[in-house]
Amino acid sequence: MIKVLRIGHATFETPDLAKAIDHYTQVIGLSLAGREDKRAFLATKMGQLVIELQAGTQARCSKLSFEVAPNADFGDLQRELQKHGVAAEERNDSIPGLPRVLSFQDPKGTTIELFREWSTIGNHEQVVGVGALKLGHVAFVTQEPKVMARFYGEVLGFRVSDWIGDFFVFMRCNADHHAVNFITGKNVKMHHIAFELRDFSHLQTACDLFGERKIPIIWGPVRLGPGHNVAAFHRDHDDWVVEFYAELDQMKDEALGYFDPRPWHHDRPQRPKVWDHKQVAYMWGPPPTPDFMRGRD
């Protein structure tokens, strides 16, 4: 089994590259670390690549990257993928900070790239906007979330953190409660992308920025059930749902099997489970809005 260690960056195609760059720099607070004719690369203020933008005819998330151990052998990983009927190839896409990747597709057609080496990019200048710390997770709509959960678990070594009913799964690859989510829906597409903030006061700062820029908050502030993160959601230039969050649950020791205790947990200790969606999709705050839920259409 391959063991993925963290989420790296997401690649988005966008019909308006200039507007996309503006949103990710001026609102999300990322640094423009590289610019080509039809591509742009955005990094956190720590210099980690988190977003690659590509000019395209429609808005879509086309690729995710994940880090594996620095001593991982791409040949061994390629043979492991072949056991599951997955064809992979070693590539160099000239992405700043990533010299080589192992590329393949997951069952819903998203390109996955595994990398073992990376370096910081950009000049680490003081950013404007919210100043997100890292790319936290990406959630996808899919007709068969159980199929996706099986693939990410059996092939890439992800673990199930929680289910909501049988239609929404949260999966982790490190201590963070989830790095990917899969939710049942009609059409395969991204549902939302999430960026981690420092703490609750940082989330308040983000909400104040939304007020200044007249950016509607489509859900939140809210403390969610699975993961227990406090969050606020808005839509970006391409109508994608973007989440800012803090205080996400952590499983610091897989052998113990429970999440690091927090005073807002209802279960003591809090372990992975199946949640009743009618009662605990969120702990406090407003219920999900129709604007947020339409992402499943």
Out of 86, 115, 144, pick the residue that ends a domain.
115
| Position 261 in a domain | no
What digits encode the pLDDT tens for the residues 190-214? 999 999 999 999 999 999 999 999 9
Average pLDDT over residues 147-175: 97
Number of domains in the chain: 2
Give the three-state DSSP class for 287.
coil
| Position 83 in a domain | yes
In a shared domain, residues 153 and 239: yes
Question: What's phi and psi for 146, nearest 5 deg?
Answer: -65, -35
In a shared domain, residues 167 and 235: yes
CATH, residue 142 = 3.10.180.10
In a shared domain, residues 109 and 200: no
Average pLDDT over residues 136-150: 96
| Position 264 in a domain | no
What digits encode the pLDDT tens for the residues 46-75? 899 999 999 999 999 999 999 999 999 999
In a shared domain, residues 96 and 175: no
Give the three-state DSSP class for 286.
coil
For residues 223, 226, 232 and 236, what is the CA-based torsion angle, rounded to 10 degrees? -170
Which of 230, 156, 161, 218 lies closest to 6, judged by CA? 156
| Position 240 in a domain | yes
In a shared domain, residues 215 and 177: yes
Residues 6+ apart with CB under 8 A from 144: 184
| Position 167 in a domain | yes
| Position 235 in a domain | yes
Out of 88, 115, 142, pick the residue that ends a domain.
115
In a shared domain, residues 150 and 290: yes
Contact between 108 and 140 under an 8 Å Cβ cutoff? The reply is: yes
In a shared domain, residues 292 and 180: yes
Average pLDDT over residues 4-29: 96
In a shared domain, residues 138 and 241: yes
| Position 23 in a domain | yes
Q: What is the rounded CA–CA span in Å between residue 65 and residue 292?
A: 26
Work out the percent of the chain whose per-residue pLDDT is above 70: 97
The DSSP 8-state label assigned to residue 70 in this structure reads T
Q: What is the pLDDT of residue 5?
A: 97
Out of 84, 115, 146, pick the residue that ends a domain.
115
Q: How many CB atoms lie within 10 A of CB 251?
A: 20
In a shared domain, residues 52 and 149: no
In a shared domain, residues 180 and 79: no
In a shared domain, residues 196 and 153: yes
In a shared domain, residues 229 and 200: yes
Identify the domain containing residue 75 by its residue range. 6-115
Beta strands in 189-235 (DSSP E): 189-196, 219-224, 230-235
Quickly state the pLDDT bin for 296 (edges 50, 70, 90).
Answer: low
